[in-house]
């Protein structure tokens, strides 16, 4: 009673029974099923959990699922911020990858940004990868989507590894910004950007994100940006120098990049034919290696 007076609530509105006493056996089953499914698929929302429970013989509505998730302290993991939002005033370059056969390191580089969920908000991770060897050449973290950290990442890669013949990006505003494309133009690098229906143009970076998230980020659940920085430093070193890649004949990206043997890639058109246009040929053949 004294606690009710101090808290300013009516005693009649307080349920003094323990949680154990008011949870029915059916609720226990629901809670166990929801908890187990959340562990397997944390990104599913209420609708998918309703479908899952129905398949288990438990017919419930979304509100009931939401209440039970609240009891467990769970929340569906909504999609993160859109990291590829185009800017209406930025110049977009055409895709140059169709029909290109990648035969050496530093022929084609590619970049992308992904979001990383932290305890409070998101961090943004950008990486640059060499298509021939799948090697991560540089990466940076930021708590904003401004172009600056992408430019810093690009400058890091150029200082450490020389210039590629072609640099491919998506049409996100950090990559179409004049500060980013200006660095590429300054270095005489051909610029290509993913076009509509060209999902394969960023294939290797997407595979990188899947590996990094499945094998490191999702397992360790970093709470802060400094923790993420330390963890990714170790993970990218492992990815480049120790992790064998099946597509590279079980060699590491570092070994293939340094030797110039064992890698490669080819992008074909939607009819399955290899087609090298004059612009693509000139862009790819004009590059240098280091």
Q: Are 100 and 108 in contact (CB under 8 A)?
A: yes
Give the pairing type, strands 166-169 and 108-117: parallel
Handedness of CA 269, 273, 277, 280 (dihedral sign): positive
Confidence (pLDDT) at 81? 57
CB neighbourhood size of 99 (10 A): 17
pTM over 0.85: no
Confidence (pLDDT) at 275? 32
DSSP state for residue 120 in the 8-state scheme: S
Confidence (pLDDT) at 170? 83
* Distance from C-alpha of 212 to C-alpha of 159, rounded to nearest angstrom: 24
CB neighbourhood size of 123 (10 A): 20
DSSP state for residue 251 in the 8-state scheme: B
Confidence (pLDDT) at 235? 95
Residue 142 CB contacts under 8 Å (≥ 6 apart), including other chains: 123, 124, 126, 148, 149
Q: Are 132 and 264 in contact (CB under 8 A)?
A: yes
* Distance from C-alpha of 147 to C-alpha of 144, rounded to nearest angstrom: 9
Ordered structural domains, the chain, with CATH? 2-72 (no CATH), 101-285 (3.30.420.10)
Confidence (pLDDT) at 251? 95
* Distance from C-alpha of 272 to C-alpha of 251, rounded to nearest angstrom: 28
Q: Are 153 and 128 in contact (CB under 8 A)?
A: yes
- Write b or e for each residue in 254-269: b if 16 or more Cβ atoms lie within 10 A of its Cβ, otherwise e: bbbbeeeebbbbebee
Q: What is the pLDDT of residues 103-158, one digit of tens each?
A: 999 999 999 999 898 887 889 999 999 999 999 999 999 988 888 999 999 999 99
Tokens found for residue 235: 């993970």
Confidence (pLDDT) at 108? 95
**Average pLDDT, 10 consecutive residues per value, the chain (290 residues):** 45 43 67 71 65 82 74 54 54 76 94 88 93 96 90 97 94 88 95 65 82 88 92 96 90 96 75 35 39
């Amino acid at each position: 009673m004294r606690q009710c007076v101090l808290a300013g609530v009516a005693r009649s509105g307080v349920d003094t029974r323990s949680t154990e006493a008011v949870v029915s056996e059916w609720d226990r089953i629901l809670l166990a099923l929801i908890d187990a499914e959340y562990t397997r698929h944390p990104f599913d929302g209420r609708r998918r959990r309703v479908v899952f429970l129905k398949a288990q013989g438990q017919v419930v509505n979304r509100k009931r699922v939401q209440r039970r998730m609240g009891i467990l302290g769970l929340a569906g993991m909504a999609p993160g911020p859109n990291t590829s939002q185009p800017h209406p005033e930025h110049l977009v370059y055409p895709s140059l990858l169709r029909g290109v056969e990648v035969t050496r390191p530093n022929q084609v580089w590619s970049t992308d940004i992904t979001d990383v969920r932290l305890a409070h908000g998101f961090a943004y991770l950008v990486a640059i990868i060499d298509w021939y060897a799948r090697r991560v050449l540089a990466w940076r973290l930021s708590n904003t989507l401004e172009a600056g950290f992408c430019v810093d990442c690009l400058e890091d890669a150029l200082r450490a590894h020389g210039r590629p013949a072609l640099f491919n990006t998506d049409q996100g505003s950090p990559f179409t910004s004049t500060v980013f494309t200006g660095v590429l133009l300054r270095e005489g690098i051909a610029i290509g950007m993913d076009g509509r229906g060209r999902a394969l143009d960023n294939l290797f970076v997407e595979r990188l994100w899947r590996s990094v998230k499945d094998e490191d980020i999702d397992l360790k659940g970093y709470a802060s940006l400094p923790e993420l920085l330390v963890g990714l430093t170790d993970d990218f070193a492992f990815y480049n120098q120790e992790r064998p890649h099946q597509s590279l004949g079980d060699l590491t990206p570092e070994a293939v990049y340094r030797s110039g043997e064992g890698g490669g890639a080819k992008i074909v058109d939607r009819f399955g034919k290899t087609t090298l246009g004059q612009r693509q040929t000139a862009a790819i053949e004009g590059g240098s290696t280091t």
